[in-house]
A = this chain, B = another copy of it.
Amino acid sequence: GAPLLLIAGPCQLESLDHALMIAEKMAAAAEKAGMGYVFKGSYDKANRTSLSGTRGLGMVKGLEILAEVRERIGCPVLTDVHEPTQCAPVAAAVDVLQIPAFLCRQTDLLIAAAKTGRAVNVKKGQFLAPWDMKNVALKLEGAGGERIMLCERGASFGYNTLVTDMRALPEMAKTGWPVIFDATHSVQQPGGQGGSSGGQREFAPVLARAAVSVGVDGVFIETHEEPGRAPSDGPNMIPLDEMPALLAMLGAFHALAREHPVRLPD
């Protein structure tokens, strides 16, 4: 059994210093919890609820920061891409390209990401059944993708609400690819605040623990030293100083889950 992978960071990149501060703390916390660590930071939030939502630092500045984090902290870095043309330049700076959930069926984006040779983490669309991620993985594989992660982040459940179906995790694992659980966006309340999305931070550790118990390969958690001041997803972020305890708890459940692997019939 492999160690649990932690993908964590501040949602939006804010500055080099901020990124380094978070990456350093997370790398240390992950190591202490016996987890692998990938720094996550977005250079562009391309689908904010409204025009007035902060977009981010932009690709050039963002990639500089990500490259710097990778070098100084010594951890792999991940960021999301939104158009096929972004994939090559992003791949030059980062280790993992992430496909946002709304875009998980955009064939050209998947192909462009796979062709970079980098690892690709695809979020499952809120509108997609877990077994349909097999088709997404097949698109990546068909374009030469050799390192793929499939990421659960909640399914549409009525309006402005998501639900996490824990059956989705072993279901997606049937593809043979690692499965990641995004605890931050699974507790998002899309559009729940009118001009922006709400969230239920208190349930992120609950769902993360359930997901780890049924056997995921990694967890994705956004964090901030002061979530109320984060430019996006504040309502569902975990405060930075709560992360070490959260990781210790998840590590304990992961250790137990490894002793009891879930195996579904084909």
Contacts and interface: CB of A to CB of B under 8 A. Distances in A.
Interface string A105-148: 11110000000000000000111111110010011001100000
Contacts of A46: 106-108
Given A107-B55, A209-B214, A50 B135 contact: yes
A156 B260 CA distance: 29
A161 interface: yes
Interface in A1-19: none
A91 to B, nearest CB: 18
A51 B190 contact: no
A167 B200 contact: yes
Given A51-B107, A107-B47, A206-B166, A191 B256 contact: no
Contact of A202 (B48, B128, B265): B265
A64 interface: no
B191 A128 contact: yes
